[in-house]
Amino acid sequence: MSLEKHINKKFLKSLQKGDRMAQKKLFELYKVKFYGVCRLYSKTKEDAEDQLQEGFIKIFKDIAKFKGQGSIEGWMRRVMVNCCLMHIRSNKNKLSTEIDLDSIADAIEIKHPNLEKDRANAVLYLIQQLPLINQTIFNLRVMDGYKFNEIAKQLELKESTVRSHFLRARKKLQVMLNKSLIE
């Protein structure tokens, strides 16, 4: 459900003027939704919280650039994803870590397999076990709908490298899902 109905022209003008109360209200409206976005692009809750904070700082700083064309929620999501990507690019040396398939099946605990929330959490957990570069590319492609050439540009990689990482991520997720279902 879109929260955008809470943002009218008067509220947007207050945000653009730097009104702290308007900023606080915007943060309260979107913190949970955008924390979920940040969690997709991070390995830890702490990293996601840091990225969320950095993203909102950037949103508040650049809100004047939003001209009211299109969805403000979509614009804020792009800002948030870009902040996450900047964080990832600044930590390139941490991008390639391998995963331990044996420990994953043991760690996934679905108490009520019929509950969608448990399934979603299990899938999110598996995605977060991927090496960061694979996780990032998988999320950009599947969760945010970026094209391979756009991902390559964002991450400053060759498109063929992005495609390769995406295929590896998909294959690793299939292996992890199969392993967790068997055990």
Task: Characterise 173 by phi-psi region: left (phi > 0), alpha (psi -120 to 50), beta (else).
Answer: alpha
pLDDT of residue 32 exceeding 70, the answer is yes
**How far is residue 172's CA from residue 134's CA, in Å, rounded to a whole number?**
9
Per-domain residue ranges for the chain? 1-90, 94-183
pLDDT of residue 182 exceeding 60, the answer is yes
More confident residue, 169 or 177: 169
Q: Could you read off the pLDDT of 69-78 as tens digits, one per residue?
A: 788 888 999 9
Q: For the chain, list the strands marked E by DSSP.
A: none
Residue 127 near residue 135 (C-beta atoms within 8 A): yes
Query: 151: how many CB neighbours lie within 10 A of its CB?
Result: 24
**Residue 127, pLDDT score:** 87
**CATH architecture of the domain with range 94-183:** Orthogonal Bundle (1.10)
Residue 5: C-alpha distances to residues 36, 73, 130 (Å)? 20, 10, 36
Per-residue pLDDT band at 112 (split at 50, 70, 90): very low
Q: Shortest CA distance to 154 belongs to which of 81, 103, 93, 57?
A: 81
Return all residues near 134 (Cβ < 8 A) that are at least 6 apart: 165, 166, 168, 169, 172
Return all residues near 34 (Cβ < 8 A) that are at least 6 apart: 52, 55, 56, 76, 77, 80
Q: pTM to 2 decimals?
A: 0.68
Per-residue pLDDT band at 101 (split at 50, 70, 90): very low
At the topology level, CATH places domain 1-90 in: Rna Polymerase Sigma Factor; Chain: A (1.10.1740)
